[in-house]
Structure 1
Amino acid sequence: MRLHTSAFAARVRQCLARHGYTWILLAAATAIAYPTWLSPQPMSLDDLGQLNGPQRSLLAWFYQHGHLPLWNPFSFGGQPFLAAGQSGPLYLPNIVFLLLPIAPAMKVSYLFHELLAAFGMYAVLWHFTKRRLASFTGAITFVTCGFLLGHQIHTQMFDAFSWLPVCFWLVLRVLSRPTLTRVCALSAGFAMEVYAGHPQVTFFVCLLLGLYTALYWLWHRSRRAAAGVLHVVCGFVLGVGLSAAQWLPTLQLASYSDRAAANASFLLQGSLPFSGLAQLLSPFTAGGGYSGTPFSPEVFQALYGINVYWEFTCYAGVIGLTLATAVMVSEFRRHHAVRSFSILTGFTVLLALGANTLAYVLLVDLPGFDLFRIPARYIGLTDFLIAVLTGVAIGRLERYDSLRLRRWVARIALGYALICIVLRLFGPLRTAPAVAFDVPVSLLVLTAVVCLIPWRAGGLRLRRVTVRPAAVVLASLVTVDVVSQAAGLSTLVLAPTAPYVNEDPSVAFLNQALRSIPDNPYPFARALSLDQTPVSQDRTLSERIPVLNGEDSLVPAWYTANINVTWDDLTLLAQPDVQAILDNMDVAYVVTAPDDEEAADNFLYPNGWEVVYRSNEAWIWKNPDRLRASWVAPSVNHVTAHTADTTRLVSWTPNRQVWQVSGPAAGWFVLSQTYDPNWVATVTARGTGQGTSGRGASGQGTPETAPVRRVAGVLTAVRIPSGSTTIVLQYQPKAFRAGCWVTIAAIVLLCVWLGWAWLNKPMTKQGS
């Protein structure tokens, strides 16, 4: 044991001696590229402020109060929380949100994942090139790529995608020398990626690593390669087991969500247009950064047909793109990894173009692909591959100073410069700021010049190290280019205020009003936002205000069919019985924008709603009807027939409720909560009459399991006997329970394997 520890310490010292200064430079460059971590302003833009920040505030509240984050009672009238996954409830790095206030915790989390992505990519390039300059260049290219910059607004996507280089590096290690320890490391890395909480990115990671492994086997076809592939498969299988506590509940929720039968138009929404590829040449076509013109979403909309610019941003460095293209052309036949990366790059671009190519058939009809929207997100895999190929190209120039490769770089640089000129005259770049065109063209011309200079043969000899001037100059140009463009784009997520930090006065009003409604227990009395207001989406989760709105990816199909105020209120307002739906869902207050005359004139005023709060941001309307959180109905066909004063909430936690019901006759206990099949009810009848099973008297107070049904479209109902009854409702997702057992078994297996590998490791003396 002591020898093992000494050998490990020696390897660490050797690694620090070799890479320490380069790692410091990489960390510094990453910090410069993302200056948001130093800003006093909070991070808040679209989903970052309306979904991710508030959800992490709620996650911290769950753990601080000793609750498992299984059920979210504050959104959608009730919604699975852990199964939806976006808050990363089981993701270990999210512990930072328990230790720090939400705003600094968000920045610490982003900085951690930026460094994770950078150092993971450094390891990938070191595996291929064994050159520090090449590894540094590929790493900084990836961590500053357009996909990561744009998807800062999707915290869970940013976190999950940051694990891609780590998982890829672990796969490479297993393929090169399969050992039990490496298989276990791969499984743990993949499990962390799953727990980060974005199923689409998990699918991307599996797709890329699976295809690369298959191509690796195709190029090698040897017994050793087969052993490596088999060990990779074992690593992923074990990783699937380690992460079962997360993906099993998510898979169950997906089976009854509105994604279960998504149509082609939904799946292909957000396909990258061909014109969007112009961003690979120029990152500031719509302004921002060094362009001298403020970024404009309207200009972006005019250029690329969509205003969600974070989905389409795909710049990975124009010099890096040139180097990647050149190494694909020059090394395609010679280098199996380059061949694999070239094929995967073309494939991922086709997927990103989505509806604009025949790839839409895969996205719509192939299982797995047909669960996710916005094909443009596949461009993130393209960015990753460009970064790898950039590092490989620098590695080739650093090792051999390949004249063949330099000539190809010069040709392709001039070719891309010509394309920029054409796009400037006839394409998307014609309306771009002049600098957004001039800088890429200048960089491309400079790249060509650097590659055509007849540098001294063999390079320069400095302190027993051979320096290849072309590689150093090109790597420097790449670094300056991507770091400067990232520093100009990354600050787009900063805002003077954030919904999860600054409480709007309308939110404060609702917080007090909903908690003080007589005979209507919190958190069942709810608010509803019509269109965009301070309480729309998931903004109110930080204050734990129950609302009928929400902004999650996996929504039960019955919610979508009957209410669907996820992004708009059209479905709800189109229902013929809107008032009854709101009464049944215990909506005490409706929040509208001050100028929403259509909702006021067509729905609120005619139904007797009155304004109880006015501000420049929102109007709050009070429901004129008497509301109840629960009631007893005579049958499932008349569930809205409220029986007065028959129910009382005895105790409540997010995952468990106890209700006391008193009624002369049997019927249905109806709860103003969105139905979910994972709620389990037990009924204890303390009066006279028949038990829920109908087998005899239940006066002895024996708890009996009662079925939980969905009634009136979305409501939760439990069959009860006559007399005084106690109902215990518990949220017990079977998929989570099964997932926990699978995860525990996988952890035990992982520990056994690691222990076996440690005990059977050869004893080597330090320094030998």
Structure 2
Amino acid sequence: MKYKQLFLLAALFLFFQFHPFLFGKTLFFGDNYSLMIPGKLFTVEWLESGVLPLWNPTIFSGIPWIGDINQSILYPTTAFFFLFSPAIALNITIVIHLFLAFFGMVLLVRRWQSDLPSMVVGGVLWMFSTHLMGSIHNLSIIQSLPWFPWIIWAGLEIGSRKRAILVFSFLVMLQLAGGYPQHVLLSIGTAVLFSAICFLRKGNYWQWLQQWLLAAAIVVGVSSVFWLPFVDVFVRSTRMLQTVEQAQVGSLHPVMLAKVFLVTMFDNPVAGFKWGPAWSGEQNVVFYVSWLGIIILGFVLTGFRRLPKLDMFLLLLSGVTIVLSLGLYLPFYAALQRMLPLLRIGRYPSMLLIITNISLILLIARNFSKITFSKKFFWLVFTTFVLLFMVVISLLLVVWLEPNGLWQWMNGLSGGRLVGSAFHTFERDTIILRTLLSQLLAVTVISCAGLVYFYKRRLFLAAICIGLDIVISTHGMFIFADNSVYSSRQQLRSSLTPTYVDNQGRARFLTRNSNMPYADFGSYWEALVVREPFSDSYVTQQELTEQAILQQLRDGLTPNWNMVVGVPVVHGYTTLLPQDYAAIWQVSDLPRINFIDTIESSNELLAQWAVGQYVVDTWFPLYGEQLPDEKFASIDNLDFYVIPGALDRFRYENDLPAKLSLRAETPNELVLTVVASDASHLIIADRYDKDWRATVNDSEVSIENYNGMRRIPLEQGQNRIRMWYEPKLFYFGLGISMLTAAFCTAYFFIVRKKLSSH
């Protein structure tokens, strides 16, 4: 009965936060739109044809696909994109994983507190945590982060239940398959710490170590199919070249800790503003546990010396992770990066706040039904809330009725600094004040109600108030759009400009959108969340409603939407950019992480890489850019310019186009019949990779690295060529995973048989 109540409650909270999903709406911001959903559609397109795409030939002249773990190709949610439209599949994925997050934390809290209010508090604080709400715009994060408390729970079971190791290994494999390996490392590390604190109090260190070594072996084995090809691609990516400064991106600015009290303090996408440390720095979700949760934490701290060891551990873990998340703001962090290479390879030190958030949620949930407020303390806090309410409501009235007078008063109070500020204006400050005061009012009222219920020991209603607090506090993070903003493959093909497909696979494109600043998806997202009067954003209220410019970018095949319809481009957006390919186009000093450098249309390398046309979206200003002389076509808002001297994708050594009498191509295989007048070589203007193999007339030949492209020998006369991608570590990992799974299955049935016999 208790779990039915929990399910119903979680569903009601989800409806409150995401009810637009039921009315033809979806979320469209960030990596989901520009990377993840196009990737899913590309994958599903080929799976429907009976091909598991191991290679993606449509971006960066070809990159490994199965090794890009962020694409979560083998994760169960890929099936949703078979069955439903892209928007519906995305919505279902989000809802399912938020349910998983809720019940994962409920299960973890239940280990110590089995009362309904405590479990509700833990579940809602994690399900609507700023980390999960802020991660919804990246499919791989929302697919991996909810498993965090599940893995901690399973880790705590190791040593007490025989099947716990198998459950733990399966959960870690699922999290890794979800597509965000940093979370896997964090969750395993946290699970080991929790297990050590809880299990070692009972003694028998050697038994604990044996159990965890076995768990590690099974995890490594069963998930080999995911991590082996990923590591192979990762070590050859530009992530290995990033500087110390690049690795410090996402450090927590100390001032951002104000968001512990007000989630959208410095940035609110719905209101369209950023200010303070978020104006010129990285945004950060920090963490939020509700005002009533903060009061409970404060109460816990007052009795620090009397705390159970686990609570002391949670407080210590929270403190350490907050400090380390400051990253570049710590004087010793650079030295720490030199000592620990993992900190140099990874990015976003503030990712450690995930552990902070979980630790604080557990502290609140573990103590929620134990703590009681004295009458004196209750009236002190209640009076504070009432006074705050009165101040906030008064300020709100002034902001709405006499905003100019208030701003002038604030300017005088600051000694005229507002007028002289490069940022502050009357219009900007009015929007900020109205938004923050409105949120402050809502949180104050809910927290006041929660305080009363908590004092009167109506803990279930107090838990509901905590849920309402965090839902309302995070609601400003979401902008919804019509489901049609995600085009299906069929819809995109039907509206595809013929110029894109007339080359018959023998040429590539360079699109100005994504290649030049201010004309890509990233610039659109910035224009979306920072609107007038905070910037000269082109995202108007009409664009917020219709997303016409966004869909124009999509229909113009701004990378990576080109991969959905199989149109090859020389650039793109990816998680793991190959070092060798990035070096070919490198003109800047710093390593590129997700993109290659901007390519001028006059770059001579374009001709070598069979780039025949430069596609310019005329909606965006040129900012003085020089375009090629010859225009091939103008269709709607797209101009197609001819790249002078562009060579054929398949050509002889003398640069003449190869004579092809047959060509069949999938992501993993290329079959050609080429006629050669004499013994020579065929150049294929696709990116070279060590895992491609080839045969000519049924005899295997080596593929040479020809200036980053591929070159194979030809015999005089007709040449039957077959090239195929064979990622050895993927197949090796698949074999290890299957063997480990077979071992685990046998072990499971043996243990089950022994238990049943007893």
TM over 0.5: yes
Q: CA deviation at 1:125?
A: 0.7
- The 5 Å alignment of 1:733-752 reads 733-752=727-746
Letter in 1 for 2:189: L
Query: In structure 1, what is the equivalent of residue 685 of structure 2?
Result: 672
Query: Structure 1 residues 208, 621: CA separation in 2 closer, same or farther (over 3 Å shift)?
Result: farther
Query: In structure 1, what is the equivalent of residue 599 of structure 2?
Result: 572
Query: In structure 2, what is the equivalent of residue 377 of structure 1?
Result: 351
Q: 1:35 aligns with which of 19, 22, 35?
A: 19
How far does the alpha carbon of each residue in 1:141-200 deviate from its partner, in whole angstroms, 9 at most, with x for none?
10001111111110111110011121121112225x131x22111111111011111122
Letter in 2 for 1:341: L
Query: Structure 1 residues 288, 271: CA separation in 2 closer, same or farther (over 3 Å shift)?
Result: closer
Quote the Cα distance in structure 2 between the aligned partners of 1:478 and 1:381: 20
Does the 8 Å contact 2:10/2:102 carry over to 1? yes
Q: 1:629 aligns with which of 649, 674, 683?
A: 649
Query: In structure 2, what is the equivalent of residue 247 of structure 1?
Result: 227
Quote the Cα distance in structure 2 between the aligned partners of 1:258 and 1:132: 48
Q: 1:220 aligns with which of 201, 204, 221?
A: 201
Letter in 2 for 1:387: I
Q: CA deviation at 1:275?
A: 1.3
Q: CA deviation at 1:74?
A: 1.3
Quote the Cα distance in structure 1 between the aligned partners of 2:31 and 2:188: 25
Structure 1 unaligned spans of 5+: 1-16, 456-467, 634-640, 685-702
Does the 8 Å contact 2:507/2:612 carry over to 1? no
Letter in 1 for 2:310: A
Q: 1:394 aligns with which of 360, 368, 378?
A: 368
Query: In structure 2, what is the equivalent of residue 202 of structure 1?
Result: 184
Q: 2:511 aligns with which of 516, 519, 528?
A: 528
Query: In structure 1, what is the equivalent of residue 141 of structure 2?
Result: 157
Q: CA deviation at 1:527?
A: 4.1
Q: 2:634 aligns with which of 603, 607, 613?
A: 613
Letter in 1 for 2:693: V
Letter in 2 for 1:222: G
User: Helix, strand or coil for the counterpart of 1:152?
Assistant: coil
Does the 8 Å contact 2:673/2:718 carry over to 1? yes
Letter in 1 for 2:344: D
Letter in 1 for 2:437: A
Query: Structure 1 residues 98, 333: CA separation in 2 closer, same or farther (over 3 Å shift)?
Result: farther
Q: CA deviation at 1:732?
A: 0.3
User: Helix, strand or coil for the counterpart of 2:722?
Assistant: strand
Q: CA deviation at 1:233?
A: 4.0
Structure 2 unaligned spans of 5+: 393-409, 419-423, 521-552, 587-591
Does the 8 Å contact 1:285/1:436 carry over to 2? no
How far does the alpha carbon of each residue in 1:682-721 deviate from its partner, in whole angstroms, 9 at most, with x for none?
233xxxxxxxxxxxxxxxxxx3332223222x31222445
Query: Structure 1 residues 254, 547: CA separation in 2 closer, same or farther (over 3 Å shift)?
Result: same
Does the 8 Å contact 2:439/2:473 carry over to 1? no
- The 5 Å alignment of 1:24-173 reads 24-173=8-157
- The 5 Å alignment of 1:203-602 reads 203-216=185-198, 220=201, 222-223=203-204, 226-286=206-266, 294-296=270-272, 299-306=273-280, 309=283, 311-312=284-285, 314-330=287-303, 334-357=307-330, 358-363=332-337, 365-397=339-371, 401=372, 432=433, 433-440=436-443, 468-469=457-458, 471-486=459-474, 488-489=475-476, 491-494=478-481, 497-501=484-488, 508-510=495-497, 512-517=498-503, 521-522=504-505, 525-529=508-512, 530-531=515-516, 532=520, 533=553, 534-563=556-585, 570-573=597-600, 578-594=602-618, 601-602=625-626
Q: CA deviation at 1:229?
A: 5.0
Does the 8 Å contact 1:271/1:374 carry over to 2? yes
Q: 2:753 aligns with which of 756, 759, 765?
A: 759
Query: Structure 1 residues 44, 507: CA separation in 2 closer, same or farther (over 3 Å shift)?
Result: farther
User: Helix, strand or coil for the counterpart of 1:680?
Assistant: strand
| Percent identical | 17
Letter in 2 for 1:706: V
Quote the Cα distance in structure 2 between the aligned partners of 1:409 and 1:334: 24
Q: CA deviation at 1:72?
A: 0.9
Does the 8 Å contact 1:36/1:490 carry over to 2? no
Quote the Cα distance in structure 1 between the aligned partners of 2:208 and 2:15: 36
Quote the Cα distance in structure 2 between the aligned partners of 1:507 and 1:253: 35
Quote the Cα distance in structure 1 between the aligned partners of 2:5 and 2:448: 31
Letter in 1 for 2:44: A
Q: CA deviation at 1:333?
A: 5.1
How far does the alpha carbon of each residue in 1:297-326 deviate from its partner, in whole angstroms, 9 at most, with x for none?
xx32544244764x5363332322332353
Q: CA deviation at 1:543?
A: 2.4
How far does the alpha carbon of each residue in 1:8-33 deviate from its partner, in whole angstroms, 9 at most, with x for none?
xxxxxxxxx44322332233223323
**TM-score for the superposition, normalised by structure 1:** 0.80
Quote the Cα distance in structure 1 between the aligned partners of 2:47 and 2:73: 9
How far does the alpha carbon of each residue in 1:371-408 deviate from its partner, in whole angstroms, 9 at most, with x for none?
222223332332222222221121424xxx48699889
Does the 8 Å contact 1:586/1:628 carry over to 2? yes
Query: Quick check: 196-205 or 264-273, which moved more?
Result: 196-205
Query: In structure 1, what is the equivalent of residue 532 of structure 2?
Result: none
Does the 8 Å contact 1:312/1:376 carry over to 2? no
Quote the Cα distance in structure 1 between the aligned partners of 2:21 and 2:729: 38
Quote the Cα distance in structure 1 between the aligned partners of 2:480 and 2:583: 33
Does the 8 Å contact 1:129/1:392 carry over to 2? yes
- The 5 Å alignment of 1:678-717 reads 678-684=691-697, 703-712=698-707, 714-717=708-711
Quote the Cα distance in structure 1 between the aligned partners of 2:378 and 2:212: 38
Q: Provide the alpha-carbon RMSD of the alignment.
A: 3.6
Query: Structure 1 residues 645, 368: CA separation in 2 closer, same or farther (over 3 Å shift)?
Result: same
- Paired residues in the alignment total 677
Does the 8 Å contact 1:514/1:525 carry over to 2? no
Query: Structure 1 residues 344, 371: CA separation in 2 closer, same or farther (over 3 Å shift)?
Result: same
Query: Structure 1 residues 709, 221: CA separation in 2 closer, same or farther (over 3 Å shift)?
Result: farther
User: Helix, strand or coil for the counterpart of 1:270?
Assistant: coil
Quote the Cα distance in structure 2 between the aligned partners of 1:154 and 1:409: 43
Quote the Cα distance in structure 2 between the aligned partners of 1:596 and 1:27: 43
Does the 8 Å contact 1:142/1:387 carry over to 2? yes
Query: Structure 1 residues 760, 494: CA separation in 2 closer, same or farther (over 3 Å shift)?
Result: farther
Residue 183 (structure 1) aligned with residue 203 (structure 2): no
Quote the Cα distance in structure 2 between the aligned partners of 1:581 and 1:589: 13
User: Helix, strand or coil for the counterpart of 1:513?
Assistant: helix
Does the 8 Å contact 1:301/1:307 carry over to 2? no
Q: CA deviation at 1:583?
A: 1.7
Quote the Cα distance in structure 1 between the aligned partners of 2:126 and 2:303: 22
Letter in 1 for 2:606: L
Letter in 2 for 1:674: R
Q: CA deviation at 1:570?
A: 4.1
Quote the Cα distance in structure 1 between the aligned partners of 2:254 and 2:24: 39
Letter in 2 for 1:135: M
Letter in 2 for 1:434: L
Quote the Cα distance in structure 2 between the aligned partners of 1:405 and 1:560: 65
